[in-house]
Amino acid sequence: MARRWWTLGVVCTGVFMLLLDITIVNVALPDIAVAFKATISGLQWVIDAYSLALASLLLTAGIMADRAGRRLLFFIGIGIFTMGSLLCGTSSGIVFLSISRAFQGIGGAIMFATSLAMLSESFKGRERGIAFGVFGAMTGIAIAVGPVIGGALVSGLGWRWIFFVNIPVGIIVFVATLLRVDESRDPNPKRLDLLGFITFSTGLAALIFGLIRSNTAGWGSLTVIGSLVGAAVLLAAFVAAEGLSRDPMFDLRLLRVPTFDGGLIAAFGISASIFSALTYLVLFLQDVVGLSALSTGVRFLPLSLSIFVAAGVAGRLTSDLPKRFLISPGFVLIGVGLLLMRGLTPTSGWTHLLPGMIVSGVGGGLVNVPLVATAVGVVPPSHAGMASGINSTFRQVGIATGIAVLGAIFIARIRSTVISQLAGTVLAAQSHDIAVAAASGRIGLTLSSLPQVDRPLVAAATRAGFVDGLNLILLIAALLTFLAAVTSFFLIREKDFVADQGRSARALKSAGPSS
């Protein structure tokens, strides 16, 4: 088998594994919460620590791969990711697990940032379209089948095995990368932009930290305000530094290419909507419907299969149709699917979600495949690491931001509903305390100190608050996808894509001189 196909296999397996770990954890959250007595805020960190590390380091990893060698960086990344998986599986507490997840994310960032650049360098012409199609299908399927695989592992072996399973796969990919993948790098590498790396990484970290802390501390907290203001200052400093640098880690001229911008918005949009909402849909099936981890995972198979089928169709059409005619309708279908999932009640079963899962899955498959080509299609292969790095960054920022913001809205609605339903039953102060406890996963502890409260009544109010919150965030996620559909249609243009031969940064030239 030609080495380029080995490269495709290695890249897809590695990326499948690291993306799987974004959602495979979801079905294990109730078991992790019990094992470590964790709150919803603590559980969010298990998810967001991984996405935060991914988002913060993707761009830098892409630049380093262009400079030091993409195979070398991918090799290092899979080693770090595998070690991080071992640490996650042996965690003794929620804090250690979150830190280990961040370590996993560092390895994942290196792997993800180099993957598209390796494919772009290895494949040409129509074969490149095939490779991107396979890669795009794998990205969507990995996120969608996470609950299925996670459910099987949690039910059969325990939650720690969602991490241990990565170890043998990681070792296989590690060896295959060493023996079967060719090295590639930018022939004219950039110097390491230390100022850009520091401002970008710390700015993103401050942004996501502030969003997550808002769930427990509130938007008026000095910690939250300080984090968000610090993020704004640091990211503004990053833009200024890149504009003044002669050798920036991110060429700001790309932002003048509409297709590149459209790809960034699309990457953020799909992650912040359907893939972020999956976290709360999993909690609904387990906490409200009462399904086991395995049963929950099986219920997500229609979504996974829809993504798989649609991705296959999109892979065939990507080379023949303008990419916006796949991406924009795909977002519309995702939004329609999310709206079909709304209307949940405390007595709703999982079948209420089924039509929406199928429709949104088809939309996700149509978006993911052409989006991969859009990510690196406006730059020459020598700059593929930078382009794929920033596009992948927006994907992970979308996941982290989506989970944090939707989570804040979700918890606020739970509190509001519980307080309103308990009004007149208990004292106002007690009603508020119960609402806060219910929203943060500590309802049993609070009720033990309030023996006069009718516990079935509180449980009913909590379930009502849960579905109210879920219905609200599904609506917000749907509106976000419709916005992404509009921007994708108008920004993504075929004329911005550069040809395989002589890909001499035509898009950058048409954008004008660097600021």
Q: What is the pLDDT of residues 41-71, one digit of tens each?
A: 677 778 778 877 877 787 778 777 777 888 8
Closest CA to 441 of 417, 468, 411: 411
**Residue 428 pLDDT > 70:** no
Beta pairing partners, 423: 426
Bigger pLDDT: 428 vs 284? 284
- 346-358 per-position pLDDT tens digit: 888 899 999 999 9
Q: What is the band of 216 on the pLDDT scale with cuts at 50, 70, 90?
A: low
362 contacts 274 by C-beta, under 8 angstroms: no
Q: For residues 134-156, give the mean pLDDT.
A: 77
Which pLDDT band, with edges at 50, 70 and 90, does 491 fall under?
very high
Q: Residue 394: which of 271, 484, 480 has the closest Cα?
A: 271
Lowest mean pLDDT among 122-131, 164-173, 328-337, 480-489: 122-131
Does residue 121 have a pLDDT over 70?
yes
Report whether 102 contacts 49 (CB < 8 A): yes
Nearest of 473, 435, 439 to residue 281 by alpha carbon: 473
Q: Which two tokens stand for residue 32?
A: 């992790």
| Rounded alpha-carbon distances, angstroms, from residue 367 to 133, 271, 305, 439, 481 | 11, 11, 15, 34, 11
pLDDT in tens, 358-406: 999 999 989 988 887 787 777 776 676 677 778 878 887 887 788 778 8
Q: Which of 163-167, 311-315, 495-499 has the highest mean pLDDT?
A: 163-167
Residue 487, pLDDT > 60, answer yes
Report in angstroms the alpha-carbon separations of 503 from 65, 123, 248, 507.
20, 14, 20, 9
Judged against a pLDDT cut of 70, whether residue 515 lies above it is answered with no
Residue with the bigger pLDDT between 26 and 280: it is 280
For residue range 454-470, what is the model confidence (pLDDT) as tens digits?
567 767 777 888 899 89
Query: What is the tens place of the pLDDT at every residue in 184-213?
Result: 777 776 677 788 888 988 888 888 778 767
Indicate if the alpha-carbon torsion angle 505, 509, 513, 515 is positive or negative: negative
Kindly provide the b/e burial profile for residues 185-217, where b requires at least 16 CB atoms within 10 angstroms of the residue's own CB: bbeebbeebebbbebbbbbbbbbbbbbbbbbbb
Structure tokens at 445: 């502890």
| pLDDT (tens digit per residue) in 2-29 | 788 888 889 889 888 887 887 778 778 8
Is pLDDT above 90 for 37?
no
Which whole number is the average pLDDT over 103-117? Answer: 86
SS (H, E, C) 344-399: CCCCCCHHHHHHHHHHHHHHHHHHHHHHHHHHHCCCCHHHHHHHHHHHHHHHHHHH
Measured between alpha carbons, how far is residue 236 from residues 200, 202, 239, 266, 454 in Å?
Answer: 9, 12, 5, 22, 52
pLDDT averaged over the chain?
Answer: 80
**Cα–chain-centroid distance for residue 150?**
17
Separation between Cα atoms, residue 297 and residue 105, nearest integer Å: 23
Nearest CA to 106 out of 164, 64, 168, 67 is that of 64
pLDDT recorded at residue 215:
63
Residue pair 146/26 in contact by the 8 Å Cβ criterion: yes
Mean pLDDT of 108-121: 82
Task: Give the gyration radius of the chain's Cα atoms.
Answer: 22
Which CATH code of 3.30.230.70, 1.20.1250.20, 1.20.120.140, 3.40.30.120 fits the domain covering 3-183+249-414+464-511? 1.20.1250.20
In whole angstroms, what is the distance from residue 463 CA to residue 405 CA? 21
What is the mean predicted confidence (pLDDT) over 305-319? 81
- The confidence score (pLDDT) of residue 264 equals 92
